[in-house]
Amino acid sequence: MKLKHSCIMRNRILLAEILLLAMLLSGCSSSGYLPSVKNLGVNQYGSLIMVRVPGQYFDGELIAIENEEIIILSPETNTCVSIPMENVKKFKLTYAKSTQYGWTIPLLTISAFSHGIIGISTLPLNLIVTIWVTIAGNNATRYTDKKMTYEELKMFARFPQGIPEGLDLSSIRGKEYN
């Protein structure tokens, strides 16, 4: 009876871990054009920005911040969209591909089963630590409106000093569309 209860408990824990892993991996994707952290200095494109305005949501490459507007290159339409800053409720910026530590979750979960009876206490500890490290790794290359001003946000745009004079916004293309 006690052995059967232990097997049921392990199966529930394993199911919970699989669900957590699936949730973490599904939320960890970033745009393919973002550079790795070590290639930040040679990247010619703007960072990925997600902007929320009342009733709408925009995401794409940050082209510039100019005339109290955020200019974003939409990946769906391959056109630039200008969003007045007064309408922005929130923004989230990702400037590089994050380091993925999600692989440690199943590895250290499996290793807890090799600890024998002590595994009952090391399994939750391993889960807490690996999930925390994975989330921290994913958030290491992100900023939000709570941590950054619009003036600082300009540094992550393709044109940090504004749109060059004479450049037509319709001629701007993203890396994925070249």
Beta bridge partner(s), residue 66? 69
Full-model pTM: 0.69
Please report which confidence band the pLDDT of residue 178 belongs to, taking 50, 70 and 90 as the band edges. very low
Element (H, E) at 57: strand 56-66
Across 115-142, average pLDDT: 87
Pick from 38, 39, 64: nearest CA to 49: 64
d(CA 82, CA 89): 15
pLDDT tens-place string over residues 15-73: 666 666 655 555 555 567 788 877 777 788 899 999 999 999 999 999 999 989 999 99
The pair of structure tokens assigned to 36 is: 């790795």
Pick from 56, 42, 60: nearest CA to 169: 60
